[in-house]
């Protein structure tokens, strides 16, 4: 199989967003995954336990790692990055007990890769009757003007991947990312390290390592960055090669997701088209972009 053999994902439907409060657990009232999203890949059922989800992620990831690709190909590079990320996750597990770990998750492409790799690293995981967890603790800090499609994808994926997720609506200066994490840690005092999907080309990502304690003035915890050195094209190659479902905004030309006021389709993906004799603007999907430094051209 070559890099060009990566199969495209079925486009996911969009649904209306739901209202949010400043802090809100998301998991209890979620619909079953298959009711909202369909895929050509194996569908997770609502009856699946966290141990089942972990086993499925492990199987997907290691089946990919067992594939043969030319050494200089994109997919071979992704395999190397995947192995490094799994080593980082294993190192975190060696430093901390599972109850001391949590995820920062926002439904974006980088967090999706992070989530699947983290779950894959937990295999084998016991069922609850034998001491296993029923869900993974997670925090979702969103902007004051989130996209409904992002909200819906976070709701679906937190159910599909068994996240016990609490979301915070940031409204500076009243509520900030910093205050959201402080509140989250007050609710989860056992958490010592949080997995974060930051990459090197993200704001403030240039000097980060795989493990970084928070800066002075922040609530004290260790940030774990398993995908810090992944390139943009590698993120998308992983998602598409494993057939992962992702937020549908990426199929509309969005390459980096924030709030509605500061996020637009990437101009590098714009295609001029004609509809009923009038010029219209359309956008190619996010995975067709290749350059890291062009990823945030749709952000103010």
**Confidence (pLDDT) at 35:** 29
* C-alpha span between 21 and 24 (Å, rounded): 6
**H or E element that contains 179:** helix 177-187
Domain annotation for the chain: domains and CATH numbers? 3-252 (3.40.50.620)
Chain segment 61-119, per-residue pLDDT in tens: 999 999 999 999 999 999 999 999 999 999 999 999 999 999 999 999 999 999 999 99
Chain segment 175-216, per-residue pLDDT in tens: 999 999 999 999 999 999 999 999 999 999 999 999 999 999
**Confidence (pLDDT) at 299:** 94
Chain segment 203-261, per-residue pLDDT in tens: 999 999 999 999 999 999 999 999 999 999 999 999 999 999 999 999 999 999 999 99
pTM of the model: 0.84
With a cut of 60, say whether residue 31 has pLDDT above it: no
**Confidence (pLDDT) at 155:** 96
- The distance of Cα 68 from the centroid of its chain, to the nearest Å, equals 26
CA distances from 77 to 10, 20, 28, 211 (A): 25, 39, 39, 22
Where residue 32 falls among pLDDT bands split at 50, 70, 90? Answer: very low
**Confidence (pLDDT) at 214:** 97
With a cut of 90, say whether residue 21 has pLDDT above it: no
With a cut of 60, say whether residue 12 has pLDDT above it: no
Answer whether 69's CB lies under 8 Å from 76's CB: yes
Residues paired with residue 166 on neighbouring β-strands, in sequence order: 25, 139
Where residue 8 falls among pLDDT bands split at 50, 70, 90? Answer: very low
């Amino acid at each position: 199989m070559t890099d060009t053999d990566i199969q495209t994902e079925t486009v996911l439907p969009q649904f209306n967003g739901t209202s949010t409060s400043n802090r809100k657990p998301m998991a209890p009232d979620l619909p079953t995954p298959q009711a909202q999203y369909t895929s050509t890949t194996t569908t997770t059922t609502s009856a699946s336990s966290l141990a089942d989800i972990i086993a499925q992620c492990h199987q997907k990831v290691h089946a990919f790692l067992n594939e043969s690709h030319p050494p200089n190909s994109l997919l071979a590079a992704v395999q190397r990055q995947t192995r490094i990320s799994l080593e980082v996750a294993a190192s975190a597990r060696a430093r901390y007990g599972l109850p001391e770990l949590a995820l920062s998750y926002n439904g974006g492409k980088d967090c999706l890769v992070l989530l699947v790799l983290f779950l894959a690293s937990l295999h084998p995981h016991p069922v609850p009757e034998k001491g296993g967890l029923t869900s993974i603790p997670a925090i979702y800090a969103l902007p004051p003007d989130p996209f409904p499609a992002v909200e819906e994808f976070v709701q679906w994926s937190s159910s599909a991947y068994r996240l016990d997720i609490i979301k915070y609506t940031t409204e500076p200066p009243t509520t900030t990312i910093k205050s959201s994490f402080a509140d989250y840690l007050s609710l989860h005092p056992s958490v010592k390290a949080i997995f974060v999907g930051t990459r090197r080309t993200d704001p403030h990502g240039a000097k980060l390592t795989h493990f970084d304690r928070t800066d002075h003035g922040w609530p004290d915890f260790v940030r774990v960055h398993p995908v810090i050195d992944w390139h943009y094209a590698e993120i998308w190659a992983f998602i598409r090669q494993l057939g992962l479902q992702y937020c549908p905004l990426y199929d509309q030309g969005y390459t980096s997701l924030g709030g509605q006021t500061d996020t637009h389709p990437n101009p590098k993906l714009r295609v001029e088209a004609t509809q009923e004799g009038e010029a219209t603007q359309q956008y190619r999907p996010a995975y067709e972009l290749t350059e890291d430094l062009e990823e945030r051209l749709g952000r103010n």
